[in-house]
């Protein structure tokens, strides 16, 4: 186990969340703003370089300073690049699984997978599905059937008094319950719809 330096942050303990996209950062910022009773304050982190190795390094670095670090990762790009990799070359999915296996042994780090992306987590507020999604666009198309005004822009996610988190908060317990129905991520069936967000809300003391 790594030795952690004393956390210099005052007040509530903080959880650093490493994400690879703005969508997750917007959502987490709104969650942080609208959940004053959460046990943690959330600090979204988007690495300057979004490669898997850079995200992995960022998680390890933050784990030295924070009580809890979450690596929240979308699988859509990883699976797309894995499908396209030439025979004999390393597969991005294998690289990710190697990093995940290492981090699973670090006590203050949690890896949370959304397959294909954050929109699948939002979709679970309205329906339960384990259907495979080839990419995020397909999950977004399914989401819009329920959340008809959905637009993947910052203004929609962060609108004062009508932020994405507030829009869905009433359905949050349902969505959390649905993610608990999933087994652990299955590398043999990586395309299957999956979300581990209940782990995140458990860390925050909100589930």
2 belongs to a structural domain? no
Query: Where does the pLDDT of residue 10 fall: very low under 50, low under 70, confident under 90, or very high at 90 and above?
Result: low
9 belongs to a structural domain? no
**Cα gap 113→131, rounded to integer Å:** 15
45 belongs to a structural domain? yes
141 belongs to a structural domain? yes
**pLDDT for 75 beyond 50:** yes
Query: Where does the pLDDT of residue 88 fall: very low under 50, low under 70, confident under 90, or very high at 90 and above?
Result: confident
Q: Which domain holds residue 116?
A: 14-203
- Length of the chain in terms of residues written: 207
5 belongs to a structural domain? no
33 belongs to a structural domain? yes
Helix (H) or strand (E) holding 11: none
The answer to whether the peptide bond before residue 178 is cis (omega within 30 degrees of 0) is no
182 belongs to a structural domain? yes
Q: pTM here? A: 0.91
Q: What is the pLDDT of residues 147-187, one digit of tens each?
A: 999 999 999 999 999 999 999 999 999 999 999 999 889 99
Number of domains into which the chain is organized = 1
The CATH number that applies at residue 101 is 3.40.50
Q: Which segments of 65-196 does DSSP mark as H helices, in order?
A: 76-84, 92-103, 118-123, 136-144, 154-158, 164-168, 172-179
């Amino acid at each position: 186990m790594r030795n952690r330096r004393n956390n210099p942050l005052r007040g509530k303990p903080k959880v650093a969340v490493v994400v690879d996209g703005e969508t997750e950062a917007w959502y987490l910022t709104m969650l942080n703003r609208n959940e004053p009773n959460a046990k943690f304050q959330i600090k979204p982190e988007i690495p300057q370089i979004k490669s898997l190795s850079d995200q992995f390094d960022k998680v390890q670095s933050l784990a030295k300073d924070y009580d809890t670090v979450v690596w929240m990762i979308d699988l859509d790009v990883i699976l797309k690049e894995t499908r396209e990799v030439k025979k004999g070359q390393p597969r991005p999915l294998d690289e990710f699984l190697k990093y995940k296996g290492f981090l699973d042994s670090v006590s203050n780090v949690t890896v949370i997978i959304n397959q294909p992306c954050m929109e699948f987590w939002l979709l679970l507020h309205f329906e339960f599905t384990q259907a495979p999604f080839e990419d995020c666009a397909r999950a977004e198309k399914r989401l819009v059937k329920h959340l008809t005004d959905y637009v993947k822009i910052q203004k929609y996610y962060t609108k004062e008094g009508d932020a994405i988190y507030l829009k869905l908060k009433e359905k949050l317990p349902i969505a959390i319950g649905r993610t608990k129905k999933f087994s652990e991520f299955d590398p043999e069936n990586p395309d299957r719809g999956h979300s581990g967000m209940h782990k995140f809300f458990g860390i925050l003391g909100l589930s």
